[in-house]
Amino acid sequence: MTQRKNAEKITDAEWKVMHVLWDRGRLSSNDIVTAIVPETGWSPNTVRTLLIRLTDKGILRVEKKRGKEKDYPLCFYTPLFSREDCEAVHSRSFLERVFAGDASRLLAHFVNESSLTPEQIEELRAKLNDL
Amino acid sequence: MTQRKNAEKITDAEWKVMHVLWDRGRLSSNDIVTAIVPETGWSPNTVRTLLIRLTDKGILRVEKKRGKEKDYPLCFYTPLFSREDCEAVHSRSFLERVFAGDASRLLAHFVNESSLTPEQIEELRAKLNDL
DNA sequence: TAAACTGAATTACACATGTAAACACAATAA
DNA sequence: TTATTGTGTTTACATGTGTAATTCAGTTTA
């Protein structure tokens, strides 16, 4: 729950970093930089700043390694929260903020706007049946 | 679309103000203050600051009236965007940011977490059928 | 060994945001 | 008419965020 509190504070720019880490697991800062810079056009330093901030917030864990005494000192980062946890926290606050808590309207909106594939529609139907 | 751009910048605190205005239409600042202060505990000045900021952002329109020369000069505020428009803009950016654009996962999440009533479930089913 | 390079840590800086206090002015009450 | 009060306007101020530049410390290279 204290965790949840921290997990709440992921900012727009930081989400990009988190998605990379959730997709690919523990990564060196360089891996993260090379994954993110082309897509965003950010400076590598910007990415590193975000990594530091996420670490300070307790959302990432950092390990400083120096391989076999041959490599540069490198930082490896690992998420301390699952993607699902973070999504859940932010989803709740989004629901409250924008839809004033009315999940039904939120769902209606996304169903209408999302151009779902037939398979996705079927999946969703199945989920509704499971309720 | 330029409108859309502005509509994007509603902050957490500002949403509260907007919901009151969408619920009840054109209101004096005092009406807004009395609606919001009890629920939030904010100072009236805080609410007034938000009204000014929303006006500056072009999200609210303000009319300064002095009734029949008898009342205080009062400010009346009116939203310049529909609730649906603002929801749509913020929903899209939320989807991108938190769910990396995967609407299907977003929907699955909210369906599971929202404890919908049977009626709401039925409604949603109907919407799915209309796709 | 000195220069160049790489990655990490520190510092920066403007703008946004939450949250008002202070000030000003019209209207009303005394 | 003056003091008070309700309302609008201006200013404030810490913290968060986007977005790095700068500096520092090892590593490799000339």
- In eight-state DSSP terms, residue A68 is T
Q: Are strands B27-28 and B74-79 parallel, antiparallel or unpaired?
A: antiparallel
| B9 close to A (CB below 8 A) | no
A30 touches strand C (CB under 7 A): yes
| A120 close to B (CB below 8 A) | yes
Distance (Å) of CA A117 to CA A47, A66, B13, B103, B109: 34, 47, 36, 11, 17
The dihedral through the CA atoms of A12, A17, A22, A26 has a sign that is negative
Note if the pTM is more than 0.85: yes
At B42-66, the pLDDT tens digits run 999 999 999 999 999 999 999 987 6
Measured between beta carbons, the chain A residues lying within 8 angstroms of B22 are: none
Quickly give B32 CA vs D2 C1' distance in Å: 32
| Residue of chain A minimizing CA distance to B114 | A103
- In eight-state DSSP terms, residue B77 is E
At B17-35, the pLDDT tens digits run 999 999 999 999 999 999 9
List per-residue pLDDT tens for chain A, 131 residues long.
333 444 558 999 999 999 999 999 999 999 999 999 999 999 999 999 999 999 999 999 999 876 555 566 689 999 999 999 999 999 999 999 999 999 999 999 999 999 999 999 999 999 999 98
Residues A88, B109: C-beta atoms closer than 8 Å = yes
At B56-110, the pLDDT tens digits run 999 999 998 765 555 666 899 999 999 999 999 999 999 999 999 999 999 999 9
Helix (H) or strand (E) holding A61: strand A60-65
